[in-house]
Each structure stands twice: as C-alpha cells, then as structure tokens.
Amino acid sequence: MDRRASRGGKFLRRQRFQGGGRGLYFRNALERRSHRPRHNGQPQKSPVSVESRKIRLLMDLRNAGVTDTRVLAAIERTPRETFVEETFTDQAYANQALPIGCGQTISQPLVVGLMTQALEVSDRHKVLEIGTGSGYQTAILAKLARRVYTVERHRDLLHEAEERFKSLNLHNVTTMVGDGYKGWRGQQPFDRILVTAAARIVPPDLVGQLSDEGGIMVLPVGDVAGLNQEVIRVRKEGKQFKSERLFPVRFVPLVQGLPGPSRQ
C-alpha cells in the first residue's frame, strides 16, 4: 500500500477486500445537510438520501486509507447507482461488491479507491484498463486521466457500459472487445495500466505495453479461486521493473480468450 496515503494500514492488513482533511468534495453536501428544516431546535428526520449515503461512503473510504483528494472527488462525481442493476440500486453506496451479469461483479468501492490511488493517475496520462465490467472503475479513471482505453471480453457488458459512458458524457473513453491478457496492441505505450480481475502471474504482454518512463501497473494476482490474492503495484523504468505488495483482495479470475457465442 502507498504509505503516504494510508492512515488505515493496520486495518488493511486484517481485511480481505472484494473486488488529510475532508477536502472540498464534502463541503457543499455537508452544508446542505446542516441547513435542513428543524423542529424544536433539532433537525427533522428524513429518509436517508442518495447524497447522504454517498457522503457516508466517502468518509468510510477516507478513514480506511483512501486519502487522495482527486480520487475521492472522482468517486463523489461518479453516480455508482448508474452502474448497478436496478435490483441493487438501494445498495449502490454500500461498501460491497455487487453482481452485474456474465458472472462478473462491480468491485467494492474501497477496492476501487485504493487501487485508483495506488495507480497515481494524472491528467496527462494515457491509461489502459483490463476488464471494463459495469464501467464504474472506467468512469472514475476518465475523470482523472487524459484518455482511458478499456478492454472487456463480454460484448454485452461492454455495450451496457458504453451506453452509461454516453449518458455521463465521458468522451475520453475508448472501448474494445478483446482478450485482456493481450492488452491493446497498437496503442502502447500506456502510462498506467489497471487490471480488474485476478491473474496467476503478471501478464507479460501487459508489462511490455507499459511505458518505460515511470509506467505503473496495478493488478490483483494469485489463486484464481480467490483464496490467496493480493493487489500488487509494478513500476517500470527502462527495461527494469519492480513490484510491491499492497493489500489482500478477492477478485473474479482474469480469463484468457473470448467467451463463446452463448456467453457474450
């Protein structure tokens, strides 16, 4: 884990996650909440709003180690309810993974925050994402990077994600149906690569597509059954690279090839 941004390091070592100050991203919402109508000097009770759930989630993420203000702001500006199935809309801001179809999941918000933070994305970066899924992680990256290229092996999932990108006016996202193990040949090098499924080893093709000038890749590796996985960060300088272990997780496996017609 990035120690510069981890006040929650001890907590992270105890948990296996499923795939500074509060800052400006809380201020307006908290001010609105403080001006609710009062009765006998006390705020009137009302159902928990989407906004309140989002604020609570952001506070939980910060307390658990996501302290990069750009990452938190990107999460705040990305409506997670847009990326979950209608059945789970009321759980959109719960800190948990949710099913999205094709045997895949939308990752736990804490994992999204920690992995995005570890990627150290700037607005100059060209980013490759392996595993578009619902498109939630993609949308967050799109708010941080110059351009995001995202690869998904399930055509139906990618089509749904593309519709969400259009509805949110995310014009710096380029998509492709493909084998994530192979990355995106012809578009390399990438300043940053994020993988959202667990590989047994770091895919050599992805390392080869990472920029030699300080490129960073963040990905889960380990047992594809999900029993012994951890997120690692790979830094590349020239032809040399080094990796560091960050935190334990549980992700769906990174599968090579494309699914058959009946599993698109």
Higher pLDDT, 211 or 225: 211
Confidence tier at 104 by pLDDT (50, 70, 90): confident
Catalytic residue, chosen from 107, 122, 134, 243, is 107
Region label for 131, one of left (φ > 0), alpha (ψ between -120 and 50) or beta (otherwise): left
Q: Could you write out the DSSP letters of every residue in 13-34?
A: HH--EE-----HHHHHHHHHHH
pLDDT of residue 264: 52
Q: How far apart are CA 102 and CA 161, in angstroms?
A: 13
Q: Which of 53-62, 95-104, 233-242 has the highest mean pLDDT?
A: 53-62
On the CB side of 259, how many CA atoms lie within 13 Å of its CA?
15
Q: Longest C-alpha distance within the chain, in Å? A: 68
- Range with lowest mean pLDDT among 31-45, 165-179, 201-215: 31-45
Q: What is the pTM of this model?
A: 0.81
Long-range contacts of 41-50 (CB under 8 A, 24+ apart): 50/81, 50/92, 50/93
Three-state DSSP class for residue 2: coil
pLDDT of residue 149: 99
Q: How far apart are CA 172 and CA 162, in angstroms?
A: 12
pLDDT of residue 159: 97
The CATH number fitting domain 3-34+49-253, selected from 3.50.50.60, 3.40.50.150, 3.30.700.30, 3.30.70.3040: 3.40.50.150
Q: Name the packing angle between helices 50-63 and 109-119 (round to 10°).
A: 50
pLDDT at 26 over 50: no
C-alpha distances (whole Å) from 210 to each of 20, 132, 189, 243 are 31, 18, 5, 13
State pLDDT tens for residues 203-214: 999 999 999 999
3 state SS for 47-78? CCCHHHHHHHHHHHHHHCCCCCHHHHHHHHCC
The distance of Cα 253 from the centroid of its chain, to the nearest Å, equals 16
Whether residue 107 lies in the annotated active site: yes
| Total Cβ atoms within 10 A of residue 156 | 14
